[in-house]
């Protein structure tokens, strides 16, 4: 066995932390998971010592459990066996020593069993060692017995990272407070939140990252995930993942989108094989050998020489070659400069865009130049042929094939000359040293002469640093993640330009949304659904369905704008994804200094997600159609003069973008287009020069083949040019490509819906309970009955625990220990963690709370409150169980605004199905009837998410001076109290959010919103079919939809 491994095990047994660290740093054992002679690994021994620092040190070094013992009992039995054997050895040596002492006492030193002096010393040594081992084993056994299982992970995050795989990450708990160490963790997945049937599990002992990717899942299937920590004592309780459920899928499944980058490289390679043969798959730039020595100075050559000055009206090729902080220049300290032509005509920007692609096919310039030497120079091809010649001359002059990457724009001089600049980083500067070239410090290379001595090269010198920086940052790719990018085009005279940042010119201005680049079908469907619904509601200009049927109302009727939004019930993943996008859009607008008043019209492009690689995905944010492409008379929201922004022609941006993210594809395309372009020119010239019929037919056939190549290449390349597709679609008038930011922001800021994925596992049908007409109408308080939602978007779990503020564990069925539930017989629905009574303070109102003592929470009812002289109570309607009085409590939060004072108001809360008896006498309890048992009583229904059963209502005893605002506040506060007492998970609406609610009156399908100062008792009487609802102001027609779902109200 490895001596270092033995030393490590011994150091661990004796808890020598520094010695263990020294062994691991100096000569770590080959296998830290190996077993010693006792059957334990170093990590097993460290766990038995209970030393958390020692366990952490070994885990960091990569140690694992031994795995010899399947159960903790087996390990404990091994410790016991080893301890028993050690005790026997101690006893054996003790007997030998005692026998020797007895023999010496009887004067028989040579008798049998009597040891010599040396043997006696050895026995004493061995006995001492075995006694130490007994002590060590006893300590290890006791430590192992004392160790418990680890606690549940505080947080478990699950996210879909592929079409059939999910990444699960556990957060490390705080090891203080005597918590047991963990050495592994387990992940389980199931199709049920109860985990009654576990689909699979994985145990991982690599606790460095606490991240595991679960693959081989079924695409499109919803999974619930949980995880727990473990150690040699076993696994602790589970914690459910956040979100509760995930659906492995891809956003492409929403509209069956195919990847944009697919067969383009193969098509380019096929074309190249036609021109350069099958042996060109491993493309390597051509190497040039430069002549060196004194003979070079005396050799005359007709090759063009490097230029020293720029001449007006001419085009030049310049190379900026740098290494660290040095620039390659001639002996005259001039940048390498080669003349292209003495005059140029045509669209210079179009030629520069062609030059940018040529920079990625420099290895083929020599060959193409030889094959096109016989071409006739025309106005259309003359400049490009001369540019090829200049590039070839520069390559031979410098002895370098890869001259660099073109700058993002040609450099125009004031005298009319233009410079095409290329920048390259030289890794081996000695390879370019010659008698005519030298390396010059950057500071000296940038130095220009005085203003009185103008030099035409000064403009190029001043831009050296800028060109080098652009060359470096344009090749930097984004890190792994999902990004939001802002697209803004600018229309110019010669080309359309796009705005980028000067620190990342290969990508549009961006912010990072999250580290996970994968977007699921579930998440992308949510964005598309928002886009479709908002486009439908914006196009729906239906007249208001309300009429003036109230006396005294002062607001206009509601418009039909967002009635479909009421049915939006996103999953936990969808809700979180939308929140991330909303927050990221705000950060993007802040970064770009977009005015607040112009942000709402921006759109989240929902047609597709652009995948730059397997680790990088991009979602676009586009301005309104009139601002997508800025023109002279329209000022865009983005400040084009911002110092950190840069405008680049779209075609050049595509080149830089592809160079950063698809370099091999760009190289293949550039080479294929270079060969194909000049081969087409040669074929057309041969067609014009053909004499015989046979020569003409052959040339036509070859030309037709080349044209087919060109068509295939152009058709395949259209998918790569995604930015042009987006600009074309986004600037089209009437285009609905995207979701407006104002719609996303409004939906999330006014949304009270709390997603819960547990609804996907429920199959509880809606309960059709009915209430007796006579008893329902004559009761002073109605019972609150929890009505389970039907399966679908409004489903709620009937088995949800009533305890408030529980940790995020799966369910009581999968982990009952985390819920601290007791007395489940006849008490499993009790409200746990009920606030302890607090003596009331002076000046505060006494509030009596009377919950049901034994019955289920569905019997909780009759919430009555009054300030000053009116009491508030919660009483049970059960006739079999007496009410239990709980002393008055003082509100614990002092940050809330004081509640308004209401005179002569009393309330009762009822929920469940609607009472058909009440519809006959009107919802307003017959104010004008002297025989009415409840005079001046309003029954107000909640048309918002209360967290209680559908159809919850509140009865109020009001006066003619009670305003609508007082009714609204009282209804919401009473329902908040009912949520707390019933142990629901919310939502709870704070005082500052009460202003977002309004009181509406409804007859049939007509609705009117009442002013806050309106007196509800001033409504027309008799009014037998009217209903009063409290709803959120932005949730228009919620009350009408509420009525339509409950036929008993009609």
Express each pLDDT in 808-848 by its tens digit: 333 333 333 333 333 333 333 333 333 333 333 333 333 33
- The distance from CA 184 to its chain's CA centroid, rounded to whole angstroms, is 26
Domain end call among 91, 119, 146:
146
Q: What is the pLDDT of residue 914?
A: 35
Cβ–Cβ < 8 Å for 255, 229: no
pLDDT at 298 over 50: no
In a domain, 782, yes or no: no
Instruction: State whether 138 and 165 are in the same domain.
Output: no
Q: Are residues 535 and 582 located together in one domain of the fold?
A: yes
Q: Bridge-partner residues for 788, per DSSP?
A: none
End-to-end Cα distance, the chain: 86
Neighbours of 338 (CB within 10 A): 22
Poorest-confidence range of 142-151, 272-281, 985-994?
Answer: 272-281
**pLDDT for 659-714, tens place per residue?**
999 999 999 999 999 999 988 988 888 888 888 888 899 999 999 999 999 999 99
Are 469 and 489 in a shared domain? Answer: no
900 CB-contact burial (10 Å; exposed 0-12 / middle 13-18 / buried 19+) = middle
pLDDT above 90 as % of the chain: 35
Question: What CATH number is associated with residue 167?
Answer: 2.60.40.10
In a domain, 818, yes or no: no
List, for residues 62-97, the tens digit of each pLDDT value: 888 888 888 889 999 999 999 999 999 989 888 888
CB contact at 8 A, 150 and 197: no
**pLDDT grade for 458, boundaries at 50, 70 and 90:** confident
Q: Helix, strand, coil % (nearest 5) of the chain?
A: 35, 15, 45
Residue 691 is predicted with a pLDDT of 84
Closest CA to 330 of 418, 417, 453, 457: 457
In a domain, 722, yes or no: no
Q: Give the other-Cβ count within 10 Å of 960's Cβ.
A: 10
Confidence of residue 1002 (pLDDT cuts 50, 70, 90): confident
Tell me, yes or no, whether 966 and 901 share the same domain.
yes
Neighbouring-strand partners of residue 909 = 954
Q: What is the pLDDT of residue 655?
A: 94
Which 3 state secondary structure label does DSSP give 541? coil
Instruction: Tell me how far apart the alpha carbons of residues 935 and 488 are, in angstroms, rounded to a whole number.
Output: 65
Q: Tell which phi-psi region holds residue 691, choosing left (phi > 0), alpha (psi between -120 and 50) or beta.
A: alpha
Same domain? 988 vs 1030: yes
Q: Indicate the number of domains in the chain.
A: 5
pLDDT of residue 968: 93
Say how far apart CA 5 and CA 318 lie, in whole Å. Answer: 64
The answer to whether the CB of 250 falls within 8 A of the CB of 163 is yes
Same domain for 933 and 992: yes
| pLDDT digit string, tens, across residues 896-921 | 333 344 333 444 554 443 333 333 33
Residues 950 and 1048 in one domain: yes
Residue range(s) defining the domain that contains residue 616: 481-540+569-656+736-743
Are 191 and 216 found together in one domain? yes
Task: Look at residue 706 and tell me if it is in a domain.
Answer: no
Work out the angle at residue 973's Cα, subtended by the Cα atoms of residues 967 and 976, and round it to the nearest 5 degrees.
140
**Residue 308's domain is classified under what CATH number?**
3.90.79
**CB proximity list for 1021: less than 8 A, separation 6 or greater:** 924, 927, 928
Confidence band of 285 (pLDDT split at 50, 70, 90): low
Least confident of 162-176, 301-315, 344-358, 640-654: 301-315
Q: Give the pLDDT of residue 615.
A: 94
Q: Which residues contact 663 (CB under 8 A, 6 or more apart)?
A: none
Neighbours of 366 (CB within 10 A): 17
> Can you tell me the distance from the alpha carbon of 103 to that of 93, in angstroms, rounded to the nearest whole number?
15
Range of lowest pLDDT (547-556, 578-587, 660-669): 547-556
Taking CA 200 as the corner, what is the angle to CA 196 and CA 201, rounded to the nearest 5 degrees? 105
Tell whether 309 and 435 lie within a shared domain.
yes
Residue scoring higher pLDDT (58 or 449): 58
Q: How many CB atoms lie within 10 A of CB 342?
A: 10
At residue 266 the predicted structure's pLDDT band, cuts being 50, 70 and 90, is: very high
Checking if the pLDDT of 623 tops 90, the result is yes
Average pLDDT along the chain: 76
Longest Cα separation, the chain: 135
Is pLDDT at 177 greater than 70 in this prediction?
A: no
> The domain that contains 36 carries what CATH number?
1.25.40
Token readout for 930 is: 């002297």
Residue 764: per-residue pLDDT:
31
**Is 708 within the bounds of a domain?**
no
Same structural domain, 135 and 160: no
More confident residue, 292 or 679: 679
pLDDT higher than threshold 50 for residue 586: yes
* Residues 905 and 1025 placed together within one structural domain of the fold: yes
Q: How confident is the model at residue 934 (pLDDT cuts 50, 70, 90)?
A: very low
Domain presence at residue 751: no
- Find, among 988, 984, 962, 958, the residue nearest to 973 by Cα: 988
**What are the tokens at 697?**
């037919």
For residue 377, how many C-alpha atoms fall within 13 Å in the half-sphere facing its CB?
11
Q: Does residue 337 or residue 835 have the better pLDDT?
A: 337
In whole angstroms, how far apart are CA 795 and each of 178, 289, 687?
Answer: 41, 77, 75
- Asked if the structure places residue 616 within a domain, the reply is yes
Pairing assessment for the beta strands 603-604 and 616-622 based on DSSP bridges: antiparallel
Q: Which of 743, 771, 790 is the last residue of a domain?
A: 743
Report whether 654 contacts 721 (CB < 8 A). Answer: yes
pLDDT of residue 1008: 84
| Confidence at residue 870, expressed as pLDDT on a 0 to 100 scale | 34
Pairing of strands 510-514, 481-486: antiparallel
3-state secondary structure of 243: strand
Looking at the structure, tell me whether residues 323 and 196 fall in a common domain: no
Q: Give the domain-ending residue among 113, 146, 179.
A: 146
Any bridge partners for residue 101, and if so which? none
pTM of this structure:
0.69
Q: Is-contact 115 96, C-beta < 8 A?
A: yes
For 792-805, what is the mean pLDDT? 36
- pLDDT tier for residue 787 given thresholds of 50, 70 and 90: very low
Is residue 156 classed as helix, strand or coil in its secondary structure?
A: strand
**923 CB contacts (<8 Å, ≥6 apart)?**
938, 939, 1026, 1027, 1028
Band (860; pLDDT cuts 50, 70, 90): very low
| Residue 610 pLDDT greater than 90, yes or no | yes
For the cut 80, the answer to whether the pLDDT of residue 35 exceeds it is yes
Contact by Cβ (8 Å): 856, 830: no
- Tell me the two tokens of residue 403: 């001259």
Q: Is residue 87 part of a domain?
A: yes
Q: Look up the CATH number of the domain holding residue 1030.
A: 3.10.20.90
- The pLDDT tens digits of the residues spanning 125-165 come to 888 899 998 999 999 999 898 888 999 999 999 999 999 99
- Average pLDDT of 503-508? 94
Rounded mean pLDDT, 531-550: 54
């Amino acid at each position: 066995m490895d001596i270092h491994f033995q030393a490590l095990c011994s150091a661990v047994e004796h808890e020598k932390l520094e010695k263990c660290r020294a062994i691991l740093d100096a000569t770590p054992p080959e296998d830290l998971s190996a077993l010693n002679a006792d059957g334990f690994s170093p990590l097993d021994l460290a766990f038995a010592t209970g030393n958390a620092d020692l366990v952490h040190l070994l885990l960091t070094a990569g140690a694992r459990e031994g795995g010899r013992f399947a159960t903790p009992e087996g390990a404990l039995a091994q410790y016991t066996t080893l301890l028993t054997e050690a005790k026997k050895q101690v006893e054996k040596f003790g007997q030998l020593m005692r026998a020797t002492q007895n023999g010496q006492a009887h004067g028989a030193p040579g008798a049998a069993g009597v040891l010599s002096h040396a043997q006696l010393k050895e026995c004493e040594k061995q006995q001492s060692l075995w006694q130490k081992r007994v002590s060590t084993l006893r300590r290890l056994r006791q430590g192992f017995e004392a160790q418990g299982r680890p606690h549940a992970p505080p947080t478990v995050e699950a996210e879909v990272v592929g079409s059939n795989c999910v990444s699960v990450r556990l957060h490390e708990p705080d090891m203080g407070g005597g918590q047991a160490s963990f050495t592994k963790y387990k992940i389980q997945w199931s199709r049920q939140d109860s985990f009654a049937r576990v689909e699979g599990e994985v145990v991982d002992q690599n606790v460095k990252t606490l991240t595991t990717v679960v693959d081989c899942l079924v695409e499109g299937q919803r999974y619930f995930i949980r995880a727990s920590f473990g150690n040699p004592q076993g696994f602790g309780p589970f914690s459910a993942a956040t979100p509760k459920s995930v659906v492995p899928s891809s956003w492409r499944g929403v509209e069956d989108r195919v990847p944009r980058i697919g067969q383009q490289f193969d098509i380019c390679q096929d074309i190249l094989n036609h021109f350069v043969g099958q042996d060109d798959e491993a493309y390597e730039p051509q190497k040039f050998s430069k002549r060196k020595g004194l003979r070079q100075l005396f050799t005359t050559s007709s090759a063009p020489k490097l230029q020293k000055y720029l001449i007006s009206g001419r085009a030049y090729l310049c190379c900026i070659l740098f290494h660290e902080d040095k620039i390659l220049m001639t002996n005259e300290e001039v940048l390498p400069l080669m003349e292209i032509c003495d005059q140029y005509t045509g669209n210079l920007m179009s030629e520069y865009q062609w030059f940018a692609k040529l920079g990625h096919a420099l290895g083929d310039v020599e060959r193409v130049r030889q094959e096109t030497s016989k071409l006739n120079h025309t106005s259309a091809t003359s400049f490009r042929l001369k540019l090829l010649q200049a590039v070839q001359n520069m390559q031979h002059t410098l002895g370098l094939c890869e001259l660099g990457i073109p700058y993002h724009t040609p450099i125009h001089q004031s005298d009319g000359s233009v410079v095409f600049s290329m920048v390259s980083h030289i890794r081996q500067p000695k390879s370019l040293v010659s008698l005519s070239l030298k390396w010059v410090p950057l500071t000296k290379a940038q130095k220009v002469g005085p203003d009185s001595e103008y030099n035409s090269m000064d403009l190029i010198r001043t831009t050296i640093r800028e060109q080098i920086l652009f060359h470096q940052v344009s090749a930097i790719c984004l890190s792994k993640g999902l990004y939001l990018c802002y697209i803004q085009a600018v229309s110019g005279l010669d080309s359309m330009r796009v705005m980028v940042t000067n620190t990342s010119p290969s990508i549009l201005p961006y912010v990072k949304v999250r580290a996970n680049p994968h977007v699921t079908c579930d998440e992308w469907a949510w964005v598309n659904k928002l886009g479709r619904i908002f486009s439908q509601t914006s196009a729906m200009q239906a007249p208001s369905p309300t009429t003036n049927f109230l006396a005294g109302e002062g607001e206009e009727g509601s418009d039909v704008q967002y009635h479909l939004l009421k049915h939006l019930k996103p999953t936990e993943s969808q809700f979180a994804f939308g929140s991330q996008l909303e927050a990221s859009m705000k950060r993007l607008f802040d970064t770009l200094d977009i005015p607040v008043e112009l942000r709402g019209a921006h759109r989240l492009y929902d047609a597709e997600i652009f995948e730059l690689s397997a680790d990088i995905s991009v979602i676009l944010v586009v301005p309104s159609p009139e601002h997508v492409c800025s023109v002279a008379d329209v000022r865009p929201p983005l400040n084009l003069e911002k110092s950190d922004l840069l405008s680049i022609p779209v075609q050049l941006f595509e080149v830089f973008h592809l160079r950063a993210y698809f370099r091999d594809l760009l190289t293949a395309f550039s080479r294929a287009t270079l060969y194909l372009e000049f081969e087409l020119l040669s074929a057309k010239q041969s067609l014009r020069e053909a004499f015989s019929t046979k020569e003409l037919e052959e040339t036509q056939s070859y030309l037709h083949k080349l044209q087919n190549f060109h068509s295939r290449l152009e058709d395949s390349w259209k998918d790569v040019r995604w930015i042009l597709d987006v600009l074309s679609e986004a600037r089209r008038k009437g285009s609905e490509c995207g979701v407006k930011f104002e719609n996303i922001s409004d939906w999330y800021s006014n949304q009270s819906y709390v997603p819960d994925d547990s609804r996907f596992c429920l199959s509880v049908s809606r309960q059709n309970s009915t209430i007796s007409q006579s008893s329902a109408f004559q009761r002073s308080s109605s019972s609150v009955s929890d009505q389970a939602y039907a399966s679908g978007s409004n489903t709620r779990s009937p088995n949800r625990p009533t305890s408030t503020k529980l940790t995020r564990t799966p369910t009581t069925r999968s982990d009952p220990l985390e819920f601290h539930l007791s007395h489940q017989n006849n008490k499993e629905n009790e409200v746990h963690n009920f606030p302890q009574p607090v003596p009331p303070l002076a000046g505060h109102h006494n509030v009596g709370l009377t919950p049901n003592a034994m019955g289920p929470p569905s019997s909780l009812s009759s919430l009555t409150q009054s300030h000053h002289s009116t009491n508030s109570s919660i009483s049970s309607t059960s006739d079999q169980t007496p009410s239990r009085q709980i002393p008055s409590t003082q509100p614990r939060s002092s940050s809330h605004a004081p509640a308004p004072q209401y005179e002569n108001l009393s309330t009762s809360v009822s929920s469940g199905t609607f009472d058909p008896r009440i519809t006959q006498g009107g919802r307003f309890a017959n104010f004008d009837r002297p025989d009415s048992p409840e005079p001046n009583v309003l029954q107000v229904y909640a048309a918002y998410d209360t967290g209680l059963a559908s159809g919850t209502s509140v009865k109020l005893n009001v006066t003619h001076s009670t305003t609508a605002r007082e009714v609204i506040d009282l209804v919401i506060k009473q329902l908040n109290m009912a949520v707390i007492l019933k142990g629901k998970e919310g939502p709870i609406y704070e005082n500052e959010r009460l202003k977002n609610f309004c009181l509406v009156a409804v007859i049939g399908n007509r609705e009117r919103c009442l002013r806050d100062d309106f007196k509800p008792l001033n409504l027309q009487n008799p009014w037998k079919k009217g209903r009063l609802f409290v709803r959120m102001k932005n949730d228009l027609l919620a009350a009408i939809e509420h009525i339509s779902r409950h036929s008993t109200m009609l």
